[in-house]
């Protein structure tokens, strides 16, 4: 058996191992982390009486919410079952990434790129989130696979591009980038025509929704304002491999910095190689295009520039890093890739040891333990009651008597100002933020705090009575 055949078999075995590891990591430890505020917001929309009406005051298309509504009716509403749907989509995106990578001319980079995509803490973290992002990523990779297929089979390739673009754009407006990513692939304008047609059809499928909902959505208030600092770009690559630093134990920050530095060096080398290599240029375009589109949208319409909005940049980033790690001696590039991948795997394992998200689960458990008949419960987030109450409605869903006591501080304050006697305890679940703090300060100026729980990633339970 020739060395080339042995090398091909070893590559296939490595790819299969990375795919298996990536799927296992995505489908396990689904309930280690509490659902955080945005995930509970997904439930508030998806499980509400009229998701479409709620979305008119939001800024998202409906596809992922419809999917979570159907999924929860089949699988239930436990944290692990809610996260199973996005985790399966993330596994599908990983398999599509591996399929798409077969079109690369430099075949030796595939194992490292697939390993990066499979083991990246950011990919797994986002792939288990009860949000629309796994739908967007799956759609984008389906469109990229379709773009490659369209080079030989125009009709079926265009159909895949249309389906992928529709899935991505119907889940998040930034999903329009899926069609753009597909359109930049190809060797000539003629070869791209089926891709253009497919992307156009995928976007056109959502025109009725845009005409119906977008005017109202553009009038809705959007809380976050764009604040971009040089550090956002300096940390861009490591943040698309790791997770937010506040979710990493300070003792392990060195690992994030080390992995980030190695990844940046690889991207820089890929940029240098792009001067002479077409494949490096394509990888960088697929990485930079979603970043530029997200930045442009944030500057013009609003929204954020957080890593979660840049998920579509990760396929191109993985490709660019693997290209940048190549050296004249394959053993050196392989060793550097192994160091990066093993570091990412270690980082992923560390993130699965304990809850590292906004811990509504523990706060609601404290409410459930301390609540007595007649008590009231208030959720303070600085947002509308629909979204503020969503975490409590999820974690206290088996305690209808507690849910019946959900109210607002405004109603309690009106009762007290009307002279009502306060013969109950007020339980407050507070999400720390600048726009929520004034309401908590108003409670503190009127009532006396009896107990206060541990603050766990911005979430804290406290109880209050009037004793003065």
Q: Helices 154-169 and 176-183 meet at what angle, rounded to 10? A: 150
E-strand spans in 277-389? 376-380
Check: CB of residue 128 under 8 Å from CB of residue 94.
no
DSSP 402: H
Better-predicted residue by pLDDT, 468 or 72: 72
Tokens 């001067």 map to which residue?
Answer: 275
Exposure on the CB side of residue 398, measured as CA atoms within 13 A: 7
Confidence of residue 92 (pLDDT cuts 50, 70, 90): very high
What is this structure's pTM? 0.94
Check: CB of residue 19 under 8 Å from CB of residue 413.
no
Looking at the chain, the whole-number percentage of residues with pLDDT higher than 90 is 63
Q: Is the pLDDT of residue 427 over 90?
A: yes
User: What is the predicted pLDDT for the residue at 332?
Assistant: 72
Check: CB of residue 80 under 8 Å from CB of residue 31.
yes
Q: Is the pLDDT of residue 206 over 80?
A: yes
Q: Buried b vs exposed e over 120-131: b needs ≥16 C-beta within 10 Å?
A: bbbbbbbbbbbb
Can you give the length of the chain in residues?
468
Across the beta sheet with 448-452, the strand order is 406-407, 376-380, 426-431, 459-465, 448-452
Closest to 63 (Cα-Cα) out of 224, 223, 220, 202: 202
Range 61-84 average pLDDT: 95
Torsion of CA 404, 408, 411, 412, to 10 degrees: 90
Confidence of residue 365 (pLDDT cuts 50, 70, 90): very high
- Tokens coding 345: 């795997």
pLDDT tens-digit map of 211-261: 999 888 888 765 555 567 777 788 889 889 988 666 677 777 888 888 889
- Tokens coding 462: 């406290």
Residues paired with residue 426 on neighbouring β-strands, in sequence order: 376, 464
Least confident range from 118-127, 187-196, 226-235, 291-300: namely 226-235
Q: Is the pLDDT of residue 27 over 80?
A: yes
Torsion of CA 391, 394, 398, 399, to 10 degrees: 30
User: What is the predicted pLDDT for the residue at 330?
Assistant: 60
User: What is the predicted pLDDT for the residue at 205?
Assistant: 96
For strands 426-431 and 448-452, give the pairing.
unpaired
């Amino acid at each position: 058996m020739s060395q080339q055949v042995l090398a091909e078999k070893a590559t296939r075995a490595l790819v299969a191992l990375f795919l298996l590891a990536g799927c296992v990591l995505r489908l396990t430890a689904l309930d280690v982390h509490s659902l955080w505020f945005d995930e509970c917001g997904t439930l508030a929309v998806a499980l509400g009486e009229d998701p479409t009406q709620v979305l008119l005051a939001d800024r998202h298309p409906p596809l992922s919410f419809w999917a979570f509504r159907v999924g929860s009716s089949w699988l239930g509403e436990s944290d692990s079952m809610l996260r199973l749907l996005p985790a399966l989509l993330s596994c599908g995106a990983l398999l599509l990434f591996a399929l798409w990578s077969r079109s690369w001319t430099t075949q030796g980079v595939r194992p490292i790129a697939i390993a990066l995509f499979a083991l990246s803490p950011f990919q797994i973290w986002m792939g288990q989130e009860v949000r629309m992002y796994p739908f967007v990523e799956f759609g984008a990779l389906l469109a990229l696979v379709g773009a490659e297929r369209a080079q030989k089979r125009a009709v079926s390739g265009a159909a895949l591009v249309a389906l992928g673009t529709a899935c991505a754009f119907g889940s998040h407006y930034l999903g329009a980038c899926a069609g753009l990513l597909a359109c930049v692939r190809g060797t000539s304008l003629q070869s791209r025509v089926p891709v253009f047609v497919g992307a156009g059809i995928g976007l056109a499928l959502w025109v009725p929704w845009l005409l119906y909902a977008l005017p109202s959505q553009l009038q809705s208030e959007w809380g976050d304002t764009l604040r971009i600092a040089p550090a956002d770009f300096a940390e861009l690559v490591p943040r698309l491999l790791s997770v937010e630093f506040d979710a990493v134990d300070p003792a392990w920050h060195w690992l994030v910095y080390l992995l980030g530095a190695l990844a940046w060096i690889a991207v820089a080398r890929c940029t240098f190689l792009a001067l002479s290599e077409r494949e490096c240029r394509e990888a960088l375009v697929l990485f930079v295009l979603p970043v530029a589109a997200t930045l442009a949208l944030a500057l013009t319409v609003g929204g954020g520039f957080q890593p979660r909005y840049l998920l579509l940049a990760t396929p191109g980033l993985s490709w660019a890093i693997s290209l940048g790690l190549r050296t004249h001696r394959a053993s050196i590039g392989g060793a550097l890739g192994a160091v990066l991948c093993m570091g990412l795997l270690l980082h992923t394992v560390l993130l699965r040891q304990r809850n590292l998200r906004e811990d509504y689960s523990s706060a609601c458990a404290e409410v459930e333990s301390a609540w007595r008949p007649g008590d009231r419960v208030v959720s303070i987030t600085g947002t509308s009651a629909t979204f503020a109450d969503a975490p409590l409605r999820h974690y206290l869903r088996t305690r209808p008597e507690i849910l019946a006591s959900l109210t607002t501080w405004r109603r309690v304050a009106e009762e007290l100002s009307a002279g009502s006697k306060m013969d109950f305890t007020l339980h407050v679940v507070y999400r720390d933020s600048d726009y929520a703090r004034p309401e908590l300060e108003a409670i503190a100026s009127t009532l006396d705090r009896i107990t206060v729980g541990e603050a766990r990633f911005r979430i804290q339970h406290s109880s209050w009575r009037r004793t003065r």
